[in-house]
Structure 1
């Protein structure tokens, strides 16, 4: 069969619902599947079943792409590349201070990629322990979080948090709406 598609290659993208991660990874080898994308919640679970991890996947602790070359499975994480490219479409990130909201898998990939691109990243997360862990694991600052999901915010729709106040004023940007 001749190559097809815009890149001139004969491949088909097929989605699989996976319950058995070790079995799914073994199937990549057994069926000769050339590559596989990995989504949540399996990005960390596949790691012990792979032969190699690239440096980025190892540092982030998550894999979103598996490459099969002659039965040798290598895990990669390209989430951070995509995140940095998206930021660079707006501004160069080197030397910038970036507040990262969240500490899940996507945040971990962004934090790593932005740090590697020269940004100064500060992590904020609702669950302080998780945010602190992410910051510590990548050598970043932790800016704060709530320790309990039951705590209530001090913000209201008519009063923005202090971070939104103009630096040269004690009034918030929308103080004209206050009565």
Structure 2
């Protein structure tokens, strides 16, 4: 038996469990199973690591950064980002990787245009750091936006017409708008958006958030996080079997 799983908090909605269960069934991997490890504190990861037949893990909110000190080593990309969403178990060593940056980058590439040179990243968590890393590799300058002024981030109240005009790509890395709280959305000045803007929401449930709907009303191109999730999941699979 080979056991894979997802580590996170309040993860009953898990995309990963459904995705990998289907993958195992389609590939007739009858000795493979996937389990949610819903923990209330990161220190509980020590017990998760002792789980019998554990072969690989995904990591989600809010532990992508918190889990780093518990690992034996980091892949260079994960080290550069400072956040982990994949753990490979090799000779009882737990090694952290980041496949979020790959999933985001590859899902964004088809939408890019020459006008996209600057981006606003809403939120400063683990996913936002993977997004910033991916944008840097794509030659796009990014600026964080936060409710606090941490990490030199802009405050939402500081988003002027000029700033919105100069940043044609806006990525929501916050959980605002996630089911069941579908009436919530990041507080940006949507009235300044135009048709050249791209609004990328890392949320996949619902498939169209209020953030996306408000962008569409202004003529912006919108995309949700589903394709990113699929791509990062397949990259996880590749990492576990490399």
Is TM (by shorter chain) over 0.5? yes
Structure 2, gaps ≥5 residues long:
2-23, 162-188, 195-217, 219-242
Bigger drift between 18-27 and 99-108 goes to 18-27
Q: Which whole-Å CA distance do the structure 2 matches of 1:33 and 1:101 have between them?
A: 34
1:9-28 correspondence runs (5 A): 9=29, 10-28=31-49
TM-score, normalised to structure 1's length?
0.64
CA drift of 1:88 comes to 0.8
Asked if residue 43 in structure 1 is aligned to residue 64 in structure 2, the reply is yes
Q: Report the equivalent of 1:130.
A: 150
Asked if residue 104 in structure 1 is aligned to residue 133 in structure 2, the reply is no
TM-score, normalised to structure 2's length?
0.49
Structure 1, gaps ≥5 residues long:
133-141, 166-173, 175-179
Q: Are the aligned partners of 1:102 and 1:125 in contact in 2 as well (CA < 8 Å)?
A: yes
Q: Which whole-Å CA distance do the structure 2 matches of 1:93 and 1:106 have between them?
A: 25
RMSD of aligned Cα (Å): 3.6
Q: Which whole-Å CA distance do the structure 2 matches of 1:28 and 1:105 have between them?
A: 21
| C-alpha spacing 1:115/1:152, structure 2 compared with 1 (3 Å) | closer
Q: How many residues align?
A: 146
> Whose helix fraction is larger, Structure 1's or Structure 2's?
2
Q: Report the equivalent of 1:139.
A: none
Q: Report the equivalent of 2:100.
A: 79
Q: Are the aligned partners of 1:67 and 1:74 in contact in 2 as well (CA < 8 Å)?
A: yes
Q: Which whole-Å CA distance do the structure 1 matches of 2:57 and 2:94 have between them?
A: 10
Q: Report the equivalent of 1:113.
A: 134
1:55-70 correspondence runs (5 A): 55-70=76-91
Q: Which structure has more RCO (C-alpha within 8 Å, separation ≥ 6)?
A: 2
| C-alpha spacing 1:24/1:101, structure 2 compared with 1 (3 Å) | closer
Deviations 1:110-133 (A, max 9, x none): 011111222222333332x2251x
> Whose strand fraction is larger, Structure 1's or Structure 2's?
2
